[in-house]
Amino acid sequence: GWFTYAKDSVPAPGSDVQVGDTVEYTVTVTQEGPVGIEDASLVDDLSAVLDDASYNDDAAASSGEVAIEDGVLSWSGDLALGEVVTITYSVTVTGGGDGTLANVVTSDDPRGGCVEEGGCVTTHDYGWYVFAKESAPGSGTQVEIGDTVEYMVTVTQEGPGMVEGASLVDDLSAVLDDASYNDDVTASAGEVSVEDGVLRWSGDLEVGQVVTIGYSVTVTGGGDGTLANVVTSEDPRAPECAEEGGCVTTHEYGWFTYAK
């Protein structure tokens, strides 16, 4: 006798996933031929999964012995005539790796082989994004009452997989004490609004997509003399600004008093 093995997953192999998603894997081992098999074995190398995900400590097998140690799943067991053994485990996507969860089931046992070409490999891609902010005139420039300051926020997809439901906020509270919003916010994709002094944007990002968000204010005075704001995101797929200091803008203005 001999045995074949195969691998499947939910979501299906080749699907894009998101940080926080759970990927469930199923390996099947099938006895073939007229005679049962003693001490069949296989391994599933998870090293290219666990740079992007955490193992949920839930490996189980319908027969035989299964364990995951040092990033490698090992299974061994006897196979009765016609027996099919099912091995399951799952991971949760954490991000922080190369954007691809890839693994393959193999066996050094000469009696075993993959059921079909490509049938023992699974891959799942995910993406992340970065954001940045610019202004005209540039950040750090002195402005005058009556001037218009134009802001542009860019959101850039990174990694091999698309991103669903990306989001960010731009707090204008330290701008609008010195300026008036010109009710002109636009975004090249997604949904954007400015309410209660906070700009909010959300949208999906295809691979390689760059979204541009623009708006402007007019300097009115009456505040502390500094227009300052910062773009942030609480989304774990956008862990930081594109570059240090690249998401903060400041503009200062002055005024004078007189007496007689």
pLDDT score for 124:
98
CA distance 50 to 100: 10
pLDDT of amino acid 136: 98
Residue whose structure tokens are 């690249």: 246
Farthest CA pair distance, the chain: 111
pLDDT of residue 118: 85
- The answer to whether 59 and 73 have CB atoms below 8 angstroms apart is yes
Kindly give the pairing relationship between strand 112-114 and strand 2-10.
Answer: parallel
The predicted pLDDT at position 64 comes to 98
d(CA 124, CA 18): 10
The pLDDT value recorded for residue 63 is: 98
Please state, in angstroms and rounded to a whole number, the distance separating the CA atoms of residues 111 and 4. Answer: 8
Q: In this predicted structure, what is the pLDDT of residue 132? A: 96
Q: Which of 210, 211, 190 is nearest to 200 (CA)?
A: 190
Write the pLDDT tens digit of every residue in 125-149. 999 999 999 999 999 999 999 999 9
Token code pair at residue 257: 């008093």
pLDDT recorded at residue 178: 97
Q: Name the stretches of the chain with pLDDT < 70.
A: none
pLDDT of the residue at 77: 98
Letter string b/e over residues 52-75, b meaning 16 or more CB atoms within 10 A of that residue's CB: bbebeeebebebbebebeeeebeb
pLDDT of residue 245: 79
